[in-house]
Amino acid sequence: MFKKTPFYLFIFLQTFFLFAQKNDGLNIPKLTQKGFLKIDYLSTKMPLNEKNMGLAGIHYNLYLNDWAYAGLGMYSAVTGTRGGLFTLGVNAGIRKSLFSTIYFDAGLHFGGGGGAGAPDGGGAYILPHFNLGYQFSKFSIETGYSYINFFDNGNIVGHQINMGVQIPISYDYASFNMLENKLIVDKNISNYNWYQESNKLSLLLHFNNLYLMGDTKNKDTGESMKGETIRTVGVELDTYIKNNTFLFLKADGAYHGIPAGCMDIVLGLGYQFSFNKDRTKLLGKFGIGAAGGGGVDTQGGFIIYPDLSLEQKIFKNIYLSFNTGFLMNPDANFVSATYGLGIKYYINQNGLISSDGKTLTSAKFKGFEIIVGEEMYFDAERNNADPQNLQQILLQINFYLNKNFYISGQTAFANFGNAGAYAEGIAGGGVSTSSKFSNKIQLFAQILTGAAGGGFMDTGEGLIVKPSVGASFLFNDKLGLRASFGHVKAINGELNSTMINVGLNYRISMLIAK
């Protein structure tokens, strides 16, 4: 049932600027984690005779045993009038077979978020579901009852039918303590646990521009925004599924050009053509997703994204990327021409055989750390309102360049404090100590920067900087409790607050080969 497919949800924003260091290594044991990707949809009732809001979700869950699972998920508005509403949350549930192909799935999703002027209150919400599903050979479909409630002074409450698709996805990994161990390739390579086809992946860090066209309007004033340019920064992760065909996931946030808060998330399919001995690549892509916020009227939020990109090799597996295309909704109420540039890095992950059948001769284990937690800003400054505390749910992913230095990406969505539309997308780096005190304590310091806005938070055009220090208490090699203390400052806004956070961190190593 669990086909070995690329586990790309856990490594977006983490494989950039990969450094190779020579170490002695062993044929390190290969472990496997079972899980599944879920895409679902629900249409919930809105207050004051407003159209129903359609929410599309994407989740990744890990199996804790044969029947229980836990993971992460995001929702975004795609129909109705609330384009720009986005959320982030955690999942927990059970999945049990009733008959050979029929199963029962019950779970709870808790998170934070909002946007687009929706009555989301502080942003905290719950979304339980009770579904029946049918298992096909490579995927399953399910439907059933769900309930949504933005319970922190929000006014979105509904009982509705939900529909979903589950796709089994497992991934191989090694103990986090194996990071920086090099796998020695010799004549006995066929006996290695890791002698299998690798997963080809690429990560793009890019700056994009949205040149607004057509009937695009300001959601608050109704005035035309034609001719204005929104500048965004974001990431795109590509995972190759067959030869030159790939799936991609893209997420961008605005940092200049409009009031903070505009973002987009796109999932799609692409094809790559290679020229000039693979030094030049042409990529065609088409995706669907959600966009909105920052006062831009994207109607219900559903968008399409055709794109053409040209890449030129500049060093080993690093390419310079240029892109142009469109980000728009199908009825053309929102239209933008897109153009931008970025840096892309290609890797082969969790295998010693490339997609063209060649044996890869250099392979090293790199550390990944996934943190999920709750964060508080004290006396956070607001636009036209008194400061008050803000809480948000956060997701951070760290990729270790060596045993002590890591690069990092973080996103967060408000869930308490009357700022449900506030969200962040930031990146940076940090340094951590080796485990101390009987391998139980790990200290770290980091600094992150990027786009933030919404919820009437005073972040100006959206650029913030966020330094912090903290410690992790490790329950075992894989799981720990993490806490930090720091500060957040808006570069051209009044937000200037002390912060604390606490959460869980999940640590593994993955094989990177070339």
Three-state SS for 299-347 is CCCEEEEEEEEEEEEEECCEEEEEEEEEEECCCCCCEEEEEEEEEEEEE
Phi-psi map region of 459: left, alpha, beta (phi>0 left; psi -120 to 50 alpha): alpha
pLDDT of the residue at 463: 87
Looking at the fold, whether 67 and 155 belong to one and the same domain comes out as yes
pLDDT of the residue at 358: 83
pLDDT of the residue at 84: 92
Residue keyed to tokens 């550390």: 367
| Domain end marker among 168, 185, 214 | 168
Q: Which residues are bridge partners to 292 per DSSP?
A: 263
- Please say if the pLDDT value at position 23 is more than 60: no
Looking at the fold, whether 124 and 261 belong to one and the same domain comes out as no
DSSP 492: S
Looking at the fold, whether 44 and 149 belong to one and the same domain comes out as yes
Task: Decide if 478 is inside a domain.
Answer: yes
- Lowest mean pLDDT of 9-23, 69-83, 206-220, name the range: 9-23
- Contacting residues for 290 by C-beta, under 8 A, at least 6 apart: 56, 76, 77, 78, 83, 86, 264, 265, 301, 302, 303
Provide the percentage of residues in the chain whose pLDDT is more than 90.
74
pLDDT of the residue at 6: 45
Dist CA 389 CA 170 (whole Å): 40
Looking at the fold, whether 207 and 344 belong to one and the same domain comes out as yes
pLDDT of the residue at 260: 65
pLDDT in tens, 223-247: 999 999 999 988 899 999 888 999 9
- Please say if the pLDDT value at position 21 is more than 60: no
CB contact at 8 A, 53 and 41: no
Indicate the length of the chain as a whole number: 514
Tell me the pTM.
Answer: 0.89
Dist CA 294 CA 314 (whole Å): 36
**Enclosing domain of residue 500:** 364-513
Across the chain, mean pLDDT equals: 90
Looking at the fold, whether 286 and 373 belong to one and the same domain comes out as no
3-class SS shares of the chain: helix, strand, coil, % to 5: 0, 65, 35
DSSP 236: E
Stated as kind and residue range, the H or E segment containing 245 is strand 245-256
Looking at the fold, whether 203 and 333 belong to one and the same domain comes out as yes
Residue 137: closest CA among 240, 2, 32: 2
| Domain end marker among 322, 349, 376 | 349
pLDDT of the residue at 14: 38
Q: Identify the band that residue 411 occupies on the pLDDT scale cut at 50, 70 and 90.
A: very high
Task: Decide if 145 is inside a domain.
Answer: yes
Q: Which residues are bridge partners to 504 per DSSP?
A: 372, 481
Dist CA 54 CA 58 (whole Å): 14
- Please say if the pLDDT value at position 169 is more than 60: yes
Task: Decide if 109 is inside a domain.
Answer: yes
- Lowest mean pLDDT of 188-192, 293-297, 480-484, 490-494, name the range: 188-192
| Domain end marker among 124, 146, 168 | 168
- Beta strand segments in 98-139, E: 102-114, 125-135
CB contact at 8 A, 499 and 468: yes
- Please say if the pLDDT value at position 211 is more than 70: yes
75: domain CATH number is 2.40.160.20
CB contact at 8 A, 345 and 203: yes
- Lowest mean pLDDT of 24-33, 207-216, 448-457, name the range: 24-33
Looking at the fold, whether 138 and 52 belong to one and the same domain comes out as yes
Task: Decide if 178 is inside a domain.
Answer: no
Q: Identify the band that residue 27 occupies on the pLDDT scale cut at 50, 70 and 90.
A: low
pLDDT of the residue at 25: 41
Q: Identify the band that residue 294 occupies on the pLDDT scale cut at 50, 70 and 90.
A: confident
Task: Decide if 10 is inside a domain.
Answer: no
Looking at the fold, whether 504 and 399 belong to one and the same domain comes out as yes
Q: Identify the band that residue 187 occupies on the pLDDT scale cut at 50, 70 and 90.
A: low
Q: Identify the band that residue 5 occupies on the pLDDT scale cut at 50, 70 and 90.
A: very low
- Please say if the pLDDT value at position 337 is more than 90: yes
Q: Which residues are bridge partners to 217 per DSSP?
A: 224
CB atoms within 10 A of CB 144: 16
Beta-sheet pairing, 140-149 with 157-168: antiparallel
- Please say if the pLDDT value at position 39 is more than 90: yes
- Lowest mean pLDDT of 9-13, 295-299, 423-427, 488-492, name the range: 9-13
- Please say if the pLDDT value at position 259 is more than 80: no
Q: 59 — phi, psi (to 5°)?
A: -140, 155
Identify which of 120-129, 253-262, 347-356 has the greatest average pLDDT: 120-129
Beta-sheet pairing, 157-168 with 35-44: antiparallel
Task: Decide if 188 is inside a domain.
Answer: no
CB contact at 8 A, 179 and 365: yes
pLDDT of the residue at 67: 96
- Please say if the pLDDT value at position 399 is more than 80: yes
The total of structural domains in the chain comes to 3
How large is the average pLDDT for residues 462-487?
Answer: 95
Looking at the fold, whether 97 and 158 belong to one and the same domain comes out as yes
Looking at the fold, whether 420 and 296 belong to one and the same domain comes out as no
Looking at the fold, whether 219 and 332 belong to one and the same domain comes out as yes
Looking at the fold, whether 220 and 321 belong to one and the same domain comes out as yes
- Please say if the pLDDT value at position 164 is more than 90: yes
Dist CA 424 CA 450 (whole Å): 8
Task: Decide if 48 is inside a domain.
Answer: yes
Q: Give the pair of three-digit tokens for residue 245.
A: 């065909």
pLDDT of the residue at 374: 98
